[in-house]
Structure 1
Amino acid sequence: MTHQDPPLFYTAHLFVCTNRRPDDHRRGSCAARGSERLRDYMKARAKELGIPNIRVNAAGCLDRCEFGPALVIYPEGVWYRPTSVEDVEEILQVHVIGGGRVARLMLTEKDVPPPKG
């Protein structure tokens, strides 16, 4: 018997880390770097653009704090570091609408947090 996954509920599911740590925390936090404002803009802008079947969610810690604000888009699992509304606009236009990638904003396998301890 073969297993088949159900169809995707959202064509694009975007998770924006909005975790906040104390200002003096060694890893920093995405919220301290403006992620809440960027998430709010992304959510409003996606609606304004009429992008179908998209969900922009606030997320807790995505564990890439040093590189934040952190954003991951599924189903592709592509990670970004948007720091401005212009970056968010480019991600929506190029990745979500156009199916491309914004290479200059991508977090890759090279962007790993330092060991915990």
Structure 2
Amino acid sequence: MAELRPSGAPGPAAPPAPGPSAPPAFASLFPPGLHAIYGECRRLYPDQPNPLQVTAIVKYWLGGPDPLDYVSMYRNVGSPSANIPEHWHYISFGLSDLYGDSRVHE
């Protein structure tokens, strides 16, 4: 797996969430499943807008061997008061309808 972003090129993991200032067509250009996952990751890790990420060179739905499209890795500093040690939070993308068109589950 290579270190690339969903666009296939180096750069930010996800564009800003669509909102009042976003172009109307933008929301339809960014796949709904990816948008939802990235939105939650931005909420949980606002200080990590560009996490480590690996991607399958050939996606499963294009005949590739890897069932996950992407894996993002976020550093979690833990919480000593809650007895949570520092760790990495791995977020997998795939095995679901990330693109909203049933391409994986036909």
TM over 0.5: no
Higher relative contact order structure (alpha carbons within 8 Å, sequence separation ≥ 6): 1
